[in-house]
């Protein structure tokens, strides 16, 4: 396994047994060369189709990091590991032709990426750079619920930008954890009211799936906005 200066990722946090890693996506030819050596022939072919350098780098560094982490956790050779995809495109790991009971999720917003790794739980992670946008209120109209829009409308300046991305990453993490992609419109649900501004952790249920319980964690820091969502339904039974 890679250690020290050879690796382009570092452990970030552990939340309820879920390991979260930070991946450095800054341009670095040595890192990208090392990462490409971990990719399968199919992944290398996919990599060659990226015309934009940043997109190619993001894919290479993130997919290779996932491979290293999974091989370490599963105790397997990289050549035995492959990936499949759910109905809505969410990837999962396959070992010797069988789906493994390890969940992972990846999000990137250059120059940062986050990878979350868990045993069996459904998980979703999202990271976003906080960039001032021309029409935050207009975007909010299509992706936020009434209380979320009200909170955003009552905030201004840099605080408004921070709140927008706080809400956006939490909603995106929940959608990714559910695994249905944007077939579920983000304005159909709201994050827990206590988490809209200040509270960093809370319990959430999708209105159309009240039997499923999720925990939502704000992972934001000075470098980026980020959030983690994971299934805790089994703990309720």
This prediction has a pTM of 0.94
User: Using an 8 Å Cβ cutoff, are 115 and 62 in contact?
Assistant: yes
Shared domain check, 56 and 115: yes
Over residues 149-165, mean pLDDT: 95
Provide the pLDDT for residue 236: 56
Shared domain check, 115 and 133: no
**In the structure, what pLDDT confidence band is assigned to residue 233 with cuts at 50, 70 and 90?**
confident
Q: Give the CATH number, domain containing residue 230.
A: 3.90.470
- The structural domain count of the chain equals 2
* C-beta atoms surrounding 201 within 10 Å: 14
Over residues 20-36, mean pLDDT: 97
Query: Under DSSP, is residue 209 helix (H, G, I), strand (E, B) or coil?
Result: coil
* The domain boundary residue, chosen from 74, 91, 120: 120
Shared domain check, 61 and 143: no
pLDDT tens profile 55-94:
999 999 999 999 999 999 999 999 999 999 887 788 899 9
* The domain boundary residue, chosen from 68, 86, 120: 120
Residue 98 has pLDDT above 60, yes or no: yes
Q: Directed axis angle between helix 136-143 and helix 157-178, to 10°?
A: 30
Shared domain check, 110 and 143: no
- What is the side-by-side order of every strand in the sheet holding 102-109? 9-15, 18-24, 112-119, 102-109
Shared domain check, 154 and 76: no
Give me 137's structure tokens: 């209120």
φ, ψ at 38 (rounded to 5°): -90, -15
Structural domain of 15: 4-120
Shared domain check, 112 and 75: yes
What single DSSP character describes residue 25? -
CA distances from 105 to 18, 100, 186, 218, 228 (A): 11, 14, 19, 16, 10
């Amino acid at each position: 396994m890679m250690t020290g200066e050879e690796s382009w990722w570092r452990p970030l946090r552990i939340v309820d047994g879920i390991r979260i890693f930070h991946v450095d996506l800054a341009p670095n030819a040595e890192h990208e060369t090392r990462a490409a050596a971990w990719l399968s022939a199919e992944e290398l072919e996919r990599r060659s189709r990226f015309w934009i350098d940043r997109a190619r780098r993001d894919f290479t560094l993130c997919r290779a990091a996932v491979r290293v982490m999974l091989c370490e956790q599963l105790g397997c050779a990289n050549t035995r590991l492959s990936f499949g995809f759910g109905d809505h495109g969410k990837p999962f790991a396959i070992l010797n032709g069988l789906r493994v009971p390890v969940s992972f999720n990846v999000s990137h917003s250059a120059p940062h990426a986050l990878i979350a790794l868990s045993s069996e739980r459904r998980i979703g992670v999202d990271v976003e750079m906080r960039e001032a946008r021309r029409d935050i209120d207009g975007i909010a109209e299509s992706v936020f619920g009434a209380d979320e829009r009200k909170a955003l409308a009552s905030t201004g300046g840099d605080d408004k930008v921070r709140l927008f991305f706080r809400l956006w990453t939490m909603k995106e993490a929940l959608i990714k954890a559910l695994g249905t992609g944007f077939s579920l419109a983000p304005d159909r649900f709201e994050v827990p009211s206590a988490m809209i501004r200040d509270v960093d952790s809370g319990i959430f249920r999708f209105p159309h799936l009240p039997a499923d319980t999720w925990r939502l964690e704000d992972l934001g820091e000075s470098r980026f906005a980020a959030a983690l969502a994971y299934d805790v339904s089994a703990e309720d039974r």
